[in-house]
């Protein structure tokens, strides 16, 4: 499948940053230079630069140009993206390992989040996401069994929970809780980090038109991941 031109430009920029050709604060080619290099319109080049700026990979200074920001894996705070798509857009390899997929009683602590009685039947999945064969995120997700009855029949090494839930229970609302933590030894082992390394943890609750669909806990090594976003008023 042919990669869209703006994605090819983004991958080109990622490659130059990761290989050290363009270090932090290095000026990257302008829209005109990229348009000429890739034989595309200036609008296509602008889209690539703007998306990377929105994702905090690049930053722009008026009158000076576009420059390399500090580089870690990016995840938008303002929109919910599929992690597989994020990794593929960087030109990297994505795969996932399905660790757990089971039905279980809803924990008392999560009962208020779902508006269900404690011990109600709930589905639970635990997926480890990899970028270039290195674990980048552990996803622990509780799913409303009534709203998503076929959740346990999926193979989440082939499709992400986010991608599947977006199809069967389209997102209408979400909340985020973000904090830096020291994770448990079990999580550290899965992420292949030491017990004292800080992690970034996002707790995300999502709704569809029918109610609360899922509650996810997303944990990533703090030195490999960060959240970013861009607002225009």
Is residue 157 in some structural domain? yes
Residue 91 per-residue DSSP state: T
Q: Which one, of 57, 89, 84, 51, lies nearest residue 72 by Cα?
A: 57
pLDDT at 79 over 90: no
* pLDDT score at 32: 94
pLDDT at 158 over 50: yes
> Both 82 and 56 in a single domain?
no
* pLDDT score at 231: 37
> Both 64 and 164 in a single domain?
no
pTM for the full predicted model: 0.70
Local structure of 110: helix, strand or coil: helix
- Among residues 68, 88, 103, which one ends one of the domains? 68
> Both 156 and 216 in a single domain?
yes
Is residue 233 in some structural domain? no
In the chain, the number of structural domains is 2
Highest mean pLDDT among 39-43, 107-111, 113-117: 39-43
Residue 233 per-residue DSSP state: -
* pLDDT score at 186: 95
Tokens of 47: 């889209």
Instruction: Determine whether 194 is exposed, middle or buried from the number of CB atoms within 10 Å of its CB (0-12, 13-18, 19+).
Output: exposed
> Both 87 and 191 in a single domain?
yes
- Among residues 68, 103, 120, which one ends one of the domains? 68
> Both 20 and 83 in a single domain?
no
Domain that holds residue 63: 5-68
Do 23 and 68 form a contact (C-beta atoms < 8 A)? yes
> Both 64 and 82 in a single domain?
no
Local structure of 151: helix, strand or coil: helix
Local structure of 50: helix, strand or coil: helix
User: To the nearest 10°, the Cα dihedral for 2, 135, 19, 91?
Assistant: 10
* pLDDT score at 1: 59
> Both 106 and 207 in a single domain?
yes
């Amino acid at each position: 499948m042919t990669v869209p031109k703006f994605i090819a430009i983004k991958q080109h920029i990622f490659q130059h940053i990761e290989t050290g050709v363009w270090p932090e604060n290095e000026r990257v080619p302008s829209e005109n230079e990229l348009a000429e290099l890739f034989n595309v319109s200036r609008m296509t080049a602008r889209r690539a630069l703007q998306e990377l700026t929105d994702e905090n990979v690049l930053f722009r200074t008026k009158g000076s140009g576009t420059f390399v920001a500090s580089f870690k894996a990016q995840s938008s705070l303002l929109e919910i993206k599929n992690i597989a798509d994020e990794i593929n857009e960087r030109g990297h390899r994505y795969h996932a390992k399905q660790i757990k997929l089971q039905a279980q009683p809803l924990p008392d602590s999560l009962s208020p989040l779902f508006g269900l009685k404690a011990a109600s039947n709930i589905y639970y999945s635990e997926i480890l996401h990899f970028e270039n064969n290195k674990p980048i995120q552990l996803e622990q997700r509780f799913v409303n069994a009534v709203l998503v009855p076929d959740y346990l029949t999926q193979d989440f090494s082939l499709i992400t929970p986010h991608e599947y839930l977006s199809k069967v229970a389209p997102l209408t609302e979400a909340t985020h809780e973000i904090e830096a933590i020291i994770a448990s030894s079990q999580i550290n082992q899965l992420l292949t980090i030491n017990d004292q390394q800080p992690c970034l943890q996002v707790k995300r609750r999502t709704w569809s038109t029918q109610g609360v669909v899922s509650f996810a806990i997303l944990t990533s090594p703090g030195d490999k991941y960060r959240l970013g976003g861009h607002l225009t008023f």
